[in-house]
Chains A and B, each alone.
Chain A
Amino acid sequence: MAAVVFEGVWKKFRRGERHDSLRDLVPALVSRLARRSPAQGLADEEFWAVRDVSFEVRPGEALGIIGPNGAGKSTILKLLTKILRSTRGRIELNGRVGALIEVAAGFHPDLTGRENVYLQGAIMGMARAEIARKFDAIVDFSGVEEFIDTPVKRYSSGMNARLGFAIAGHLDPDILLIDEVLSVGDVGFQEKCVARMRELLARGVPLVFVSHNLSAVVELCTRAILVERGTVRFDGRPAEAVAEFRRARRDPIASGAQPDTDGIRITDVQLLQADGDCSPLFHTGQPMTVQVHYHAGRPVQRPHVAIDIHGVDGIYCAGINTRMDDYVLGTLDGDGRVELVIPKLALLPGCYTISAGILDAQGIRPLDLQSRAYPFSVVSERRDFGCVYLEHHWRHDAGLDARSPGETTVAPVACAPRRLTAAIAGVGGART
């Protein structure tokens, strides 16, 4: 028997504001009576977020759901967790559902870590005795034992998430739903999370994994579906789904402008660690190499290669290309690869995507473009704000006034920046 059944599911959403006050109710009711719109159709402001999506997940299976932003992935997950109800179709989940989604949603800032473990545990459906039994393991997993009796409003967002994941991870679910688990916490914690997922998978717990991290989907999942504009575009082996996703991400203008297949194409883009490893998890300040593999069906004169990095929220972090760097590639023919070597990756922890393109000799017209097709995550011990890590140190010259002329020369002090960050945040009373 399938653990998860999703059969012909449709979900309708309303664009924009709905009537929130009684004053708007009367006209809305009148117009509804007048129009008598059929429940199945679409009214003015409505659109289908999910259209006729079907899949099944059996015990031991891990289904990856990939697709561009706004494709309906999260809506599918919300339908699975019963937060939303489908407009049409059948959704069935057989067994206790553990969702690694919004794991800290039930936390109340004024309650201590301990109180919140019990509260969040109950929200996730654990009995009190069960939480009490697992309490030490949860706290141990989260790594916040020192602060367990501190109100969580004093926690950093990382600590919050870690405690939440620790609780969710100790639920013994019959079905596991995960959304972007790999974007939280430091490397050590992420490894613990992945190990826990593998453990559950090995026990035959079916898994639904929604992620931008395509490599993780290929690595963990037994099957993947590619969702685009609310419909399933591809259903099959994860590697093929990822390939299909990347094909789909090719800029339509570029492919339109270059219909002949013997032009130049990007065949693959690989993100490499310092040791040549292909894992998509990078560290702030560590090297990163972007390899663009190409195939040219016929000689292409002096093209340029461009790499863009975007944050997951759409922030354009960096745009680099060979033209601006006056790096001449010469004539490309056959297969080859161009490497962009970044000695120190100056990005702060988060999820990013790489777009790769090959431009013509003028550096204007794209010959091939894969926009935001290659995601990666950055992790670090650093807790600076923003998306860019600026290499820095601090200096402080005290006693510049004339009060004690004998002691004016104080050696500049380079502070440990991390402690200072914590100190500033502490003074402001803000969450660090």
Chain B
Amino acid sequence: MNKLREVIAEQWEYRELLVRMTSRDLLLRYKQTVMGFGWAIFMPLVNTLIFSVIFTRVAVIDVGRPYPVYAFCGLVAWNFFSSALRFSVTSLTSNPSLVTKVYFPREIFPFSAVLVSLVDFAVSALVLAGLMWWYHVVPGWSLLLLPLVVAVLVLFTAATALMLAMGNLFYRDVKYLFEIVIAVWMFATSVVYPIGRVGGRLGAVLALNPMTHLIDAFRAVILDGRVPDHAFAITTGASIVMFLAAWLSFHAAEFDFAENL
């Protein structure tokens, strides 16, 4: 518990740097691009279009509301998760001079990757609002729970980001493995279709996927005007535990980073 207080205190001390690194990455990401933040919206929009054609024309499924809104909502949340992780994986290995020459809490690298994606997430959330207006989807009081759902999503993403960044520093295989896992993971999550409808033993396994519960909760509070179910509560607890465990083990290993890069 003391260790935990120590890492949090240190992170707080370096909060300015976290903000700086995040704005550095944002600046760099969209420097010399014409579309700028447009890219943050473009990807989920294209995916929404593709899946809308598939699931409203080819293999029609009923999701209980306009499919494009359903898909875009899921894709916005999923894109936040996957892009945060994609940037985190290489966040330590792509900054070798900082890792080997200067000291500051190394968590800043994966954390700023998550924050950068969170900014993109906020931008595409505006598009989601536009889409909902277009399809006359009116959110209810449950929208007040959105900050909580997003907080848990961020926590779970950050936990995974810490582990991946650390893993890739020691073993560069992680970067390649990640690309495969994230592709499979998306189709095992209720991003563009309700995966909860899968029954049997496979369904039971798929129900263990925290991202499904997080995205379901995200849709529930935004589109359905529903309070998230008990699965979300369990995911919340698990995410907190995972995040703390990931942070502590990252902290324990960070002194070896400079020697292993």
Residue positions of A touching B, CB distance < 8 A: 13-14, 18, 20-23, 25, 78, 81-85, 99, 101-102, 105-106, 108, 110-111, 115, 118-119, 122-128
Contacts and interface: CB of A to CB of B under 8 A. Distances in A.
A123 B104 CA distance: 7
Interface stretch (B46-54, B178-186, B251-259): B251-259
A138 B147 CA distance: 41
Nearest to B260: A18
Given A20-B172, A122-B20, A102 B101 contact: yes
A105 B101 contact: yes
A105 B97 contact: yes
A117 B258 CA distance: 24
Contacts of B28: 108, 110-111
Main SS of chain A's interface residues? Answer: loop
B14 interface: yes
Contacts of A21: 171-173
Nearest to A24: B171
Interface in B1-51: 13-14, 16-17, 19-21, 24, 27-28, 31
B171 A20 contact: yes
Nearest to A112: B27
A106 B98 contact: yes
B24 A111 contact: yes
A33 to B, nearest CB: 18
9 contacts: A20-B172, A22-B173, A81-B102, A83-B100, A83-B101, A102-B97, A105-B102, A108-B28, A123-B102
A123 B103 CA distance: 8
Contacts of B20: 118-119, 122-123, 128
A84 B260 contact: no
Contact of A101 (B97, B98, B101): B101
A196 B91 CA distance: 35
Contacts of A22: 171, 173
A23 B171 CA distance: 9
Contacts of A128: 16, 20
Contacts of A122: 16-17, 19-21
Contact of B14 (A81, A85, A125): A125
Contacts of A118: 20
Contacts of B98: 105-106, 123
**Which of B13, B101, B172 has the largest number of chain A CB atoms within 10 A?**
B101
A110 B24 CA distance: 10
B255 A84 contact: yes
Nearest to B102: A105
Interface string B40-83: 00000000000000000000000000000000000000000000
Interface in B217-261: 255-256, 258-260
B176 to A, nearest CB: 10
Contacts of B170: 20
